[in-house]
Amino acid sequence: MKYFKLTFFLMIFIFIYIPLFSGTGVDSLGNKISIPDEGVKIVSLAPGATEILYELGLQEEIVGISEFCNYPPELVASKPKMGGFSTPDIEKIQAENPDVIILTRTMPIQVKYQFERLGMQLFVAEPKSLNELLKTIIQFGNLFNRVKEAHELVISMESRAGEITEAIRERSTNPVRTMIIIWNKPYYTASRKTLPGDIVQLAGGRIVPDTTQEYLLINEERILQINPEALILGHEIEMTDYRNIESIRALRNNKVFLPNPDEFLRPGPRVINALTEIAHFLHPEAF
């Protein structure tokens, strides 16, 4: 069983290196970003990033969010919407003259180039594991001079995750063969190389199918062959959608769970809630 633990090197990074580089950060693609120490303006087109910024106390610095950002409600209600992931309102964003735009890799390359031609700094936030998410939070704290707040948030998340994984390690036996169905028309599954996959592994699941792809298009015949013991869903599915795979063990034993998709799929602080719920679902004997 995979046991989550904040590494010694990450702790050293938090306590020693971050204060030396205040005002700079490194995004998920390895790009180094630098911004002013004061009067920073942020546009966040990534809902998970918006939630992190809020937890770090950067409400005033946020000058725009995506139309998909919906949490926390009080922040969302007070900020102008700047379009979606792939259809940002470039003119509206340009009018705010932000110091940095936070986005995900789903941004079309032509839109990315347009931002760059306008001289706008981009920070790509797309962690693929809980450990990478914690590192992203640390980078946000470094970039936006919220080192203390980032440190406290990371320690809190790591502590909660550690309690869950320790309980499973001590009181459970074998991981549950689990398939993560992100979408069902057609079926797409998430692998262990994704954030949802990592969360399910930490919660005591063994991801099937075991593939090097992040997200896999899969047909009903293959699902029947794999015969997972549990299903974790990325969105609500009608029971009629299962009619051709109803013989799998997960459905026969009613071992199907839908966590809050925003908490489960977004790389934000609330992912720990999803980890907790999924762990209780897969391994009730541990709790």
CATH number, domain at 34? 3.40.50.1980
- Determine what percent of the chain is predicted with pLDDT higher than 70: 92
- pLDDT attached to residue 22: 54
Has residue 166 been placed in a domain?
no
Has residue 159 been placed in a domain?
no
pLDDT digits (tens, 9 = 90+) for 272-282: 999 999 999 99
Same domain, 126 and 178: no
Same domain, 182 and 282: yes
Pairing assessment for the beta strands 42-44 and 62-65 based on DSSP bridges: parallel
Same domain, 193 and 269: yes
Has residue 158 been placed in a domain?
no
pLDDT digits (tens, 9 = 90+) for 139-158: 999 999 999 999 999 999 99
Same domain, 84 and 130: yes
Last residue of a domain, one of 94, 121, 152: 152
pLDDT digits (tens, 9 = 90+) for 163-216: 999 999 999 878 999 999 998 889 999 999 999 999 999 999 999 999 999 999
Same domain, 46 and 182: no
Has residue 276 been placed in a domain?
yes
Same domain, 34 and 137: yes
Listed residue (77, 53, 225) closest to 140, CA to CA: 53
pLDDT digits (tens, 9 = 90+) for 9-44: 454 444 444 443 458 999 998 989 999 888 999 999
The pair of three-digit structure tokens given for residue 122, joined into one six-digit string: 């981009």
Domain of 221, in residue numbers: 174-286
Same domain, 250 and 196: yes
Has residue 167 been placed in a domain?
no
Whether pLDDT at 117 is above 50:
yes
Q: Count the residues in the chain.
A: 287
Has residue 210 been placed in a domain?
yes
Same domain, 137 and 182: no
- pLDDT attached to residue 15: 44
- pLDDT attached to residue 16: 40
Same domain, 181 and 230: yes
Q: How confident is the model at residue 264 (pLDDT cuts 50, 70, 90)?
A: very high
Has residue 134 been placed in a domain?
yes
Per-residue burial over 65-80, b if 16 or more Cβ lie within 10 Å, else e, is bbbebebeeebbeebe
- pLDDT attached to residue 37: 82
Has residue 161 been placed in a domain?
no
Same domain, 188 and 102: no
Per-residue burial over 216-234, b if 16 or more Cβ lie within 10 Å, else e, is eebeeeebeebebbbbbbb
Whether pLDDT at 2 is above 80:
no
Per the structure, the count of domains in the chain is 2
